[in-house]
Amino acid sequence: MKIDVILGLQWGDEGKGKIVDYLASNYDIVARFQGGPNAGHTLKFDGQKHVLHTIPSGIFRENLINVIGNGVVIDPITLQKEIDNLNKTGVSFLDRLFVAKKAHLILPTHRHIDAATESFKGKEKIGSTLKGIGPTYMDKTGRNGLRVGDIMLPNFKERYEALKEKHNSILKLYPEIDFDLKAEEEKWFAGLETLRSLKQINSEYFINKALKSGKRILAEGAQGSMLDIDFGTYPFVTSSNTVSAGVCNGLGVAPSTIGEVIGITKAYCTRVGSGPFPTELTGEVGEYLRAEGGEFGATTGRPRRCGWIDIPQLNYTIMLNGVTQLVVTKVDILNNFDEISVATHYHYDGKQQDELPFDLSNVPVEPVYKQYPGWKQSLDGVRNYEDMPINVKNLVGAIENQLNVPVSIVSIGPERQELVMKEIKELVN
């Protein structure tokens, strides 16, 4: 068997949670491979909304195993809150939730450092979610980190204190900011007890054995490819590899085990936090998209920046990920437009270009747009692709054509069932 991958092709919040939840019923295991509680994945079904940060989006599917892989960074406080929320829903999941022993732990002082360093950056700030992601991955690569498996060791407390002391000495370099370490530590150690009670695994063996025995595995990405530490809009990125290559070191599997790579894009584009965004709409249209699309961060509640869909950007992330099929989400948010714009190229260095420059922050890139007619009607209740308005088909067909990858699903609402499996390839242009 192969591992299929679902990941975001833009700057995050493409609707990964919804699509993973929907497709999960075809799999035996859903595994997160990177990121941490900076992620906010929203699922809606039976009129209820659920937001997951660390726990994979397959958790609501009966009998399905959910793995938090070694590439993920875990904050026991957030994990505890997620578990408490899940417990309230009545879903039984603790025997289906597995945590990699090699996953790194986010300490309260990692969050403190995150806040202090962001505040120190002033206008240059990244717009981090302040969940301690950067400092934790820094300790991982700096070979100082603490891992889930370490909490079982008799000297864990000493190691924790040593790392905390190191963090406190770093914090002396920064202006003081409000942070109640004592209160956070109390919650952290309580969360640690819960983490201790979960099923801890050597996830690399677990996943590879599952593959060998014919289990179907879906890897769930967090963030988006444009936030990848190597290929995103650096330094306005997160600290992990969000692209499909991250599946290999985030779960411990060989490149040859990767099967379908399902790339998700909104029918427009959003970004939360700082950094370049070539097709951003700062006026009325952007505000309309934000209001209509409910574009506020699922983790921080911050308003998301909105803009048109960007073909050069998507072609870049499709290339990086080896995307084999596309999912286009939030098409319904465009229901009321007379015309919809698609950025087909960039103009910079005096000519039309298809490739992204080295650094989007420092090159004044002008998107070249093409307009497509809107459909001016609700898509509520549409369940067959044939029943979609012709102008939806034209737009989806144009996107598909310019990206050279087939669209398999078109999502038209936040609820689990609000999507259309696209069977017929309608190509315009």
Contact set with ligand IMO (CB under 6 A): 8, 11-13, 38-41, 126-129, 131, 133-134, 222-224, 227, 236, 238, 272-273, 298
Three-state SS at 56: coil
Residue 307 interacts with Mg ion (CB under 5 A)?
Answer: no
- Tell me how far apart the alpha carbons of residues 273 and 253 are, in angstroms, rounded to a whole number: 32
| Per-residue tokens: 357 | 């420059």
**Residue nearest ligand IMO, Cβ-based:** 273
- Tell me how far apart the alpha carbons of residues 343 and 330 are, in angstroms, rounded to a whole number: 18
- Tell me how far apart the alpha carbons of residues 93 and 273 are, in angstroms, rounded to a whole number: 33
Residue 72 interacts with ligand GDP (CB under 6 A)?
Answer: no
Answer whether 58's CB lies under 8 Å from 30's CB: yes
Q: Which residue has the tokens 């609402």?
A: 413
Q: Which residue has the tokens 């920046």?
A: 305
Q: How far is the CB of 129 from ligand IMO (least distance, A)?
A: 3
Q: Give whichever of 191 and 414 is closer to ligand GDP, judged by the CB atom.
A: 414
Residue 107 gets which letter from DSSP?
Answer: P
Residue 18 interacts with ligand GDP (CB under 6 A)?
Answer: yes
Q: Give whichever of 34 and 315 is closer to ligand IMO, judged by the CB atom.
A: 34
Three-state SS at 39: coil
User: Which of Mg ion, ligand IMO, ligand GDP, none binds 136 (CB below 5-8 Å, type-dependent)?
Assistant: none
Beta bridge partners of 264: 8, 327
Among 148, 298, 306, 405, binds ligand GDP (CB under 6 A): 298
| Per-residue tokens: 187 | 């919650």
Question: Pick the catalytic residue: 4, 13, 21, 332?
Answer: 13
Q: How far is the CB of 40 from Mg ion (least distance, A)?
A: 4
Three-state SS at 6: strand
Q: Give whichever of 106 and 392 is closer to ligand IMO, judged by the CB atom.
A: 106
Q: Give whichever of 108 and 397 is closer to ligand IMO, judged by the CB atom.
A: 108
- Tell me how far apart the alpha carbons of residues 310 and 269 are, in angstroms, rounded to a whole number: 7
Three-state SS at 322: coil
Q: How far is the CB of 324 from ligand IMO (least distance, A)?
A: 21
- Tell me how far apart the alpha carbons of residues 166 and 158 are, in angstroms, rounded to a whole number: 12
Tell how strand 48-52 and strand 41-45 pair up: antiparallel
Question: Pick the catalytic residue: 4, 28, 41, 228?
Answer: 41
Among 80, 233, 274, 329, binds ligand GDP (CB under 6 A): 329
Beta bridge partners of 345: 368
Tell me which residues in 108-167 interact with Mg ion (CB under 5 A): none
| Per-residue tokens: 424 | 């017929």
| Per-residue tokens: 84 | 């408490």
Active site annotation includes 41: yes
- Tell me how far apart the alpha carbons of residues 269 and 308 are, in angstroms, rounded to a whole number: 6
Residue 414 interacts with ligand GDP (CB under 6 A)?
Answer: yes
User: Which of ligand GDP, ligand IMO, Mg ion, none binds 248 (CB below 5-8 Å, type-dependent)?
Assistant: none
Active site annotation includes 347: no
What is the 3-state secondary structure of 239-259? CCCCCCHHHHHHHCCCHHHEE
Among 4, 5, 6, 8, binds ligand GDP (CB under 6 A): 8
Part of the chain binding ligand GDP (CB under 6 A), chosen from 9-17, 124-132, 252-260, 349-357: 9-17
Residue 304 interacts with ligand GDP (CB under 6 A)?
Answer: no
Residue 332 interacts with ligand GDP (CB under 6 A)?
Answer: yes
Q: Give whichever of 7 and 113 is closer to ligand GDP, judged by the CB atom.
A: 7
Interface residues with Mg ion (CB under 5 A) are: 13, 40, 298
* Chain positions contacting ligand GDP, by CB under 6 A: 8, 12-18, 40-42, 44, 294, 298, 329-330, 332-333, 411-414
Catalytic residues: 13, 41
